[in-house]
Amino acid sequence: MKKAVVYISKNGTTRDTVDQIRKRAAESIDYYDLEKSQDIPVSQYDQLYLGCGIYAGTVSKEMRKFMNNGELKNKEVTFFVHGLDSAESHRMILEHSVRDHSWMENCPMYYLGGACDLKKQNFLIRKMLKAIAKKKNLDADHMENLDQQAICDFVSRVCEDR
């Protein structure tokens, strides 16, 4: 079974998870960073792992565009999502990113928590993130609610899937 990890990482959190997969996985997995290229030969893969962050209740335009690729309907797709404030809503957010999301109903989706460096954000984003920190009882200077066990379980799944 040929596998690919397709991801986009605005703040580096999703990239860190992908790096953990690379360290543990066989060389038979291909990796595509949507920030570098949108040209991914979906037809060549049986299984795809799509990773992204959720920012302000949505996913990046690059991931939305990729998720609307009609070829995904016929593939085994698993999502992994990072976000500070989307544990309860990540499935809905992903499904609303796709015009015809009926194919996503049976796709496994892993919510892995999030992390963000406030210093790297613009003023508006900092204000929004501080509100999230207060709501979620997070340290506004060290915004993180990563679920290390969920990340470990997900990485193990990717590396063991056949």
pLDDT tens for each residue of 101-122: 999 999 999 999 988 777 777 7
How far apart (Å, rounded) are the C-alpha atoms in residues 81 and 52? 5
Task: Give just the sign of the alpha carbon dihedral 145, 148, 151, 153.
Answer: negative
Q: At 162, is the pLDDT very low, low, confident or very high (cuts 50, 70, 90)? A: low
pLDDT in tens, 48-61: 999 999 987 889 99
How far apart (Å, rounded) are the C-alpha atoms in residues 65 and 98? 8
Nearest CA-CA partner of 54 in 129, 123, 153, 118: 129
Query: Does residue 133 or residue 153 have the better pLDDT?
Result: 153
Q: 103: buried, middle or exposed (CB in 10 Å: 19+, 13-18, 0-12)?
A: middle
Tell me which range, 69-78, 84-93, 125-134, is most confidently predicted by mean pLDDT.
Answer: 69-78
Report yes or no: 22 and 51 within 8 Å, Cβ to Cβ: no
Type of residue numbered 7: Y
Query: Does residue 138 or residue 57 have the better pLDDT?
Result: 57
pLDDT of residue 41: 96
Q: Which domains does the chain have, with CATH numbers?
A: 3-116+145-160 (3.40.50.360)
